[in-house]
Amino acid sequence: MTTDDEPRSGRHDDPGLSAVMGERRHLMNLAYRLLGSLAEAEDAVQETYARWYAMSDRQRDAVRSPAAWLTTVAGRICLDLLGSARVRRERHVGAWIPEPLPDGTEWVAGADGTRGDPADRIALDESVTMAFLVTLESMSPAERVALILHDVFGYAFPEVARIVGRTPAACRQLASAARRRVRTFEPSRASTTRPARTVRAFKQAWEAKDIDALVGLLDPDATAIADSGGLSLAAPGPIEGADRVARHYAAIADNMPGNVTVLECVVNGQPGLAVRQEGVTVTVLAFDIAGDRVKHIWTVLNPDKLRRWTDRNPLPRRPPSTGRTTPCTHPE
């Protein structure tokens, strides 16, 4: 499981500006996977560069591999952020879900709507699917960093050890423990056509308020979790079981306003749904699908995590649906 970024081991880049700034995309890809938040990833990368330019010219010239230095610093910053994030997320109102990546973004847009640098583009692969990112949340910060650096980005354990601050043997054990946590995670390398059909069928059944059809699309043990950050109305905890999940979404459709539209899109590289109200994306649904059944639904209603969806206008390439449903009321 690797990204488009090649491992940095052995590189001896020119320490000039272009070479240093050329690492930005790699750092963004690393930080997003480690933190599950574009906003936090951008902050971590910004802090990494701030530390680089805080050094004197002599100190920078003494760095044999700026790429390795930047990755080491970024990794340590993310490790520290993960430790503090665990405390913040325990205080988070309701469930915490990673920030969803918009479909078709050529680069990450700023929260103020301005377009970012093309070097900030996040590579889409199985290591950014919502299912994988949610699984990462169950790991300790050190396990998460060791797994991402070694298994996703291909760093050798001695390199991982310098970032995590442990021995190579300890990092190997951390990655092994992390793999056990994701053992049931089987990323699909096949076409997304089949999951897309399931998501489309779910959308149609949801809009029709067809409980039986929804139950037929859901795994018997399906779960639905919503992240509102306390800023939108949402179910306070997970909803479990196909019948309860189906009735939950049918109840949402019952309360639909007339100016809301549901659109098929891609969320973190997988088929999903975006709900728009008067041109603003107010809800994003990510799905975990096995065969033709939906196992998990992660619904993000937190407006702080959806700013880029409106700023970049990430509509699907196919013609949007004309169906309507409600975006942000999640009654139990």
| Per-residue pLDDT tens digits for 173-189 | 999 999 998 876 554 44
The values of phi and psi at residue 24, to 5°, are: -60, -45
Give yes or no: residues 202 and 172 share one domain.
no
Give yes or no: residues 75 and 164 share one domain.
yes
Give yes or no: residues 156 and 231 share one domain.
no
| pLDDT at residue 316 greater than cutoff 80 | no
- Bridge partners of 274, per DSSP, are 263, 284
| pLDDT at residue 195 greater than cutoff 70 | yes
Give yes or no: residues 158 and 235 share one domain.
no
Q: Of 293, 283, 288, which is closest to residue 325 (Cα–Cα)? A: 283
Average pLDDT in the 115-142 region?
Answer: 80
Contact present, 166 and 155 (Cβ < 8 Å): no
- Bridge partners of 261, per DSSP, are 276
Tell me, yes or no, whether 288 lies in a domain: yes
Contact present, 66 and 60 (Cβ < 8 Å): yes
| pLDDT score at 29 | 95
CATH classification of the domain holding 280: 3.10.450.50
Q: How far is CA 210 from the centre of its chain?
A: 30
Tell me, yes or no, whether 63 lies in a domain: yes
Give yes or no: residues 168 and 198 share one domain.
no
Tell me, yes or no, whether 8 lies in a domain: no
| pLDDT score at 188 | 47
Average pLDDT in the 32-56 region?
Answer: 95
Give yes or no: residues 245 and 306 share one domain.
yes
Last residue of one domain, picked from the residues 180, 201, 233:
180
Contact present, 258 and 238 (Cβ < 8 Å): no
Average pLDDT in the 316-326 region?
Answer: 37
Contact present, 127 and 144 (Cβ < 8 Å): no
Average pLDDT, whole number, for the chain?
A: 82
Question: Which range is least confidently modeled, 19-23, 147-151, 187-191, 230-234?
Answer: 187-191
Q: Of 71, 48, 57, which is closest to residue 16 (Cα–Cα)? A: 57
The Cα 325–Cα 251 span in angstroms is 10
Question: Which range is least confidently modeled, 101-110, 208-217, 251-260?
Answer: 101-110
| pLDDT score at 184 | 60
| pLDDT score at 314 | 43
Q: Where does 91-192 have alpha helices with state H?
A: 130-136, 141-147, 157-164, 168-181
Give yes or no: residues 244 and 153 share one domain.
no
Give yes or no: residues 172 and 200 share one domain.
no
Q: What is the pLDDT of residues 218-261, one digit of tens each?
A: 999 999 999 987 556 666 679 999 999 999 999 988 887 778 99
- CA atoms lying within 13 Å on the CB side of residue 77: 24
Total domains in the chain come to: 2
Q: Of 316, 312, 304, which is closest to residue 272 (Cα–Cα)? A: 316
Last residue of one domain, picked from the residues 120, 147, 180:
180
Give yes or no: residues 294 and 262 share one domain.
yes
Domain hosting residue 241, numbered range:
193-311
Q: Strand 260-267's sheet: what is its strand order?
A: 239-240, 218-227, 293-300, 280-290, 270-277, 260-267
Q: How far is CA 115 from the centre of its chain?
A: 19
Residue type for 218, please?
Answer: L
Neighbours of 142 (CB within 10 A): 21
Tell me, yes or no, whether 6 lies in a domain: no
What tokens does 281 get? 């994306």
| pLDDT score at 276 | 92
Tell me, yes or no, whether 197 lies in a domain: yes
Give yes or no: residues 226 and 299 share one domain.
yes
What tokens does 278 get? 């008067």
The values of phi and psi at residue 154, to 5°, are: 75, 25
pLDDT over 90 percentage in the chain: 59
Tell me, yes or no, whether 332 lies in a domain: no
Give yes or no: residues 24 and 83 share one domain.
yes
Give yes or no: residues 294 and 254 share one domain.
yes
Tell me, yes or no, whether 124 lies in a domain: no
Contact present, 239 and 223 (Cβ < 8 Å): yes
Kindly report the CA angle at 210 between 254 and 265, in degrees rounded to 5?
A: 80
CATH classification of the domain holding 161: 1.20.140.160
DSSP letter, residue 263? E
